[in-house]
Amino acid sequence: MTGAARGIGYATARLFLEHGARVAINDLSPEAVDAAVTSLGKANLVAAPGSVALATDCECIVERAIWDLEGLDVLINNAGIYVEASVEQTDEVLWNETLDTNLKGTFFMSRAATPHLRESRGAIVNLASEAGVVGSPNISAYAASKAGIIGLTRAMAMELVPDVRVTCVCPSPTDTQIFERTAETLDDPDSYRASLVRYSPMRRMARADEVAKAILFLASSDASFITGTALMVDGGVTAGSAAL
């Protein structure tokens, strides 16, 4: 599970453990991975740090997971970068960092895991976003990466069927550290937080555990006839206007 040291990834790792799974925890920082493993209780956990933005690291992450877990049934591609910046503010460095982590990482982790998932007839669950479906200002690089993940999910699903199911989850803004860090950089953080609450017709942010439950469902045998789908966990954002 990539990007599992915090936020949605951490909540998902905890939920999988509660359901008896053995989980490989990946994140960019070895220290963050070790802290997450310790916090989750160490049992049935494997530390697999590395950068998903590098294809060679993706191969090493998968190899480490398979070595310690003695196989692979599910890949969760959760690692991601979110930075709010206008088109004019988005330089090549930010564009590359965002696309390399979010989209390239999803592809090369999946590529490395595919032979093993074919063997186990397993599943891939990718983390996309409602931002890949509807337009929002100041997140063009992020939106492009998430729209790419939705397209990649559908293409891989058709290529790997029937051996491997490939799906993705598309959350709306979720109450995690990533948005709090953004708020703290602004002159009016309270206004920003309020805008996130208003964004969904349900008038609140998603919780990490709610997104984790959707991921668990798509990874499980309960979703055995589901592949190529993009599951919206967005409080109604893509169903209609938030100005209800």
User: What CA–CA distance (Å, rounded) separates 97 from 24?
Assistant: 24
Instruction: Report helix, strand or coil for 47.
Output: strand
Whether 121 and 74 have beta carbons less than 8 Å apart is answered as no
List, in sequence order, the alpha helices (H) in the chain. Answer: 7-18, 30-40, 55-69, 92-99, 105-120, 140-160, 177-184, 189-199, 208-219
Name the active-site residue from 82, 142, 192, 199: 142
Tokens 């999946």 sit on residue? 110
Tokens 């963050």 sit on residue? 32
Based on the residue annotation, tell me whether 142 is a catalytic residue of this protein: yes
Q: Known catalytic residues?
A: 142
